[in-house]
Amino acid sequence: MTPAPPRPAGRRPVGRRPVGRRVRAAAAPALGLAVALALSSCTVFGSGDGGSKGAAAQPDPSIAAAAPAELRSFYSQQLSWSPCEGDFQCAKVKVPLDYSKPDGGTIELAALKLAAKGGNKKGSLLVNPGGPGGSGYDFVRDAGASNISQKVRTNYDVVGFDPRGVKRSAPVTCLTDQERDASRAKIYNLDTDAGLAEAFADNKAIAAKCAEKTGPVLAHVDTVSAAKDLDVLRGVLNDTKLNYLGYSYGTFLGSTYASLFPDNVGRMVLDGALDPSLSNQELTSGQAKAFEKAIRAYVTKCLQGSGCPFTGTPDDAVKQIQDIIAAVEATPETAKDGRLVNASMFVSGFILPFYNDTNWPVLSQALASAMKGDVSPMLRLSDFGADREPNGTYSANSTFAFTAINCLDYPMSADPAAMRAEEQQLRQDSPTLGYYFAYGGTSCRDWPYKNIRTPAPVEYKGSANIVVVGTTGDPATPVEWASALRKQLGTASLLTWKGEGHTAYGRSNSCIENAVDGYLVDGKTPADNTIC
């Protein structure tokens, strides 16, 4: 996936939204899905007894018995599914706050289930839409029926969940809605020492509020802990193997799970792959280049149709976009609702439609309006990416969860000289947006908890074949990352879509859908290096 951040932000390793200097990306709810991994053996599936409406699911004692002794009480908990959200069922799952101290505090994860419609249910399919910070609960509720095929929904209980730190699951909490508005509207000149010092000071104050309002869980929202939660979820759903569909950041969560629980992997699809071996700086550079490539693809197509707001060649059109952004940088514009739109808010709105090329006409309309002096459509896009509702409330905490998880998962340099050198490189990687990908280190320098992970290739030694999916025009997770992840996953299979936008499954491509469905439902792993 994919919101404008409460502080300057940098890398966007996923999701539905943008990046940047003051722009951040969060989860990617309705932007694509994945392909999974295959075992023809029926042992891939557990009993699949997810529980009937309003009833308690009886735990499988053999699953709990296979768990570490200190965690068996979590694996043996009895879920009580209750009707919710119309035709769905909801439950809470208890997990340790800190897996190194399982006898200590606990937190609850929110799960939502779309029950299988067929009579030959294969088990559960757990889904993560990206982020970090994306709500799987919301994704399955709002987009599951449209993005996950009928064939898959007939054969699986599709289960969305909010990972720890996200929305309904011990959420990272930092600012009030009014404070979020004020933070998004603030402008920093990070090229000056004074501007950088101001950004550091504001970030430090926000981090302190996050620690105060969130509590101890803020130290434990890292991806390794979330992957351990995923195995508890598998266990309480009575699945002997994990069947999983992860998009964008969800591929990182999935590959982390595979490295920790190789024998528990069932059918796993990782769509819009993130390369776990890359540093924060390498991820940022890769995204900057990919977005610049996507901008050129967009203007090329725009110029071939009618109603395009640009003139001349693709080079001319890219320059016209750069001029629009520069104009807003020099003089922020007032939208029709009276709010001032600065360049980072404008850029966050601009980036959002690139996650799905069916939204390119919306981008053209917003840019045409901006060229006539009305930035209101671009502000609406920015607000959507930031989870801001028209009434001024914020419906999710994806911005804060994004920062909290990344600060634990990645070491980030906050040295001013290093960040400014990176900015210059990013400007070369993306002349249009590179400036807005820089200074990610300002978010984490004064975070209350230091990072606990060093980027490295994932090690997976399981026997199940995982399916990795890449899209050639993906701006958020460049297609090269899919190839890199596939090489780290042993006997995995790489499936590539020649298309534009972020992720592939659920994007109306029959070749991708048939390959993924055949794998998830029929156990037919697509041939490695299949191109659609």
Q: Which of 152, 237, 187 is nearest to 20 (CA)?
A: 187
474 annotated active-site: yes
How many residues are given for the chain?
A: 532
Catalytic residue, candidates 229, 364, 502, 517: 502
Name residue 96's beta-bridge partners. 106
DSSP labels for 243-291?
EEEEETHHHHHHHHHHHH-GGGEEEEEEES---TT--HHHHHHHHHHHH
Contact residues for 310 (Cβ-Cβ < 8 A; gap 6+): 299, 302, 303, 316, 317, 320, 321
Q: Phi, psi at residue 463, to the nearest 5°?
A: -95, -15
* CA triple 166-438-204, angle to 5 deg: 55
User: Which token pair is 84?
Assistant: 């919710």
Measured CA to CA, the distance from residue 444 to residue 426 in angstroms comes to 19
Q: What is the DSSP letter of 120?
A: S
For residues 474 and 274, what is the distance between their CA atoms, to the nearest angstrom? Answer: 12
Note if 248 is an active site residue. yes
Find out whether the peptide bond into 132 is cis, omega within 30 degrees of 0: yes
Across-strand partners of 497?
471
Residue 395 falls in which region: left (phi positive, over 0), alpha (psi -120 to 50) or beta: alpha
Query: 92 has which bridge partners?
Result: 110
Pair 275, 481: CB distance under 8 Å: yes
Task: From the candidates 248, 285, 443, 493, give the one annotated as an active-site residue.
Answer: 248
Q: At what angle do helices 249-260 and 223-236 cross, to 10 degrees?
A: 70
Alpha-carbon gap, residue 485 to 425, rounded angstroms: 25
Q: How distant, in Å, are the alpha carbons of 430, 440, 442 from that of 448?
A: 32, 16, 13
Q: What is the side-by-side order of every strand in the sheet holding 242-247?
A: 82-84, 88-96, 106-114, 156-161, 123-128, 242-247, 265-271, 467-473, 493-500, 530-531
Identified catalytic residue from 220, 474, 493, 517: 474
Contact 242/235 with Cβ under 8 angstroms? Answer: no
**Is 263 noted as a catalytic residue in this protein?**
no
Positions marked catalytic: 248, 474, 502
